[in-house]
Structure 1
Amino acid sequence: MTTKAEKAAAPIKPFALSDFFTLGALEKGKKLPLTLPDGTETEYHLMVLGADAPAARKALLEATRILRDEGKEGMSVEEEAAISQRANLLYRSALAFDWSLPVPYSKEAVAELLLNNPGLANDVERLASDRARFFAPELKAS
Structure 2
Amino acid sequence: GVLVSYLEAYFGDSLSTEAVAAVCAGKVEVGGESLAFPAENEAKLREAIEIKQLLERTPEELDGVVRALNGEFVPPATGGDLLRDGPGVLPTGRNVHALDPYRMPSASATTRGGAVARAILAKHVADNDGVYPET
Q: TM-score range by the shorter chain?
A: under 0.3
Normalised by the length of structure 1, the TM-score is: 0.23
| Structure with greater Cα Rg | 2
Normalised by the length of structure 2, the TM-score is: 0.24
> Which structure: greater strand fraction?
1
- If asked which structure has higher relative contact order (CA below 8 Å, sep 6+), I would say 1
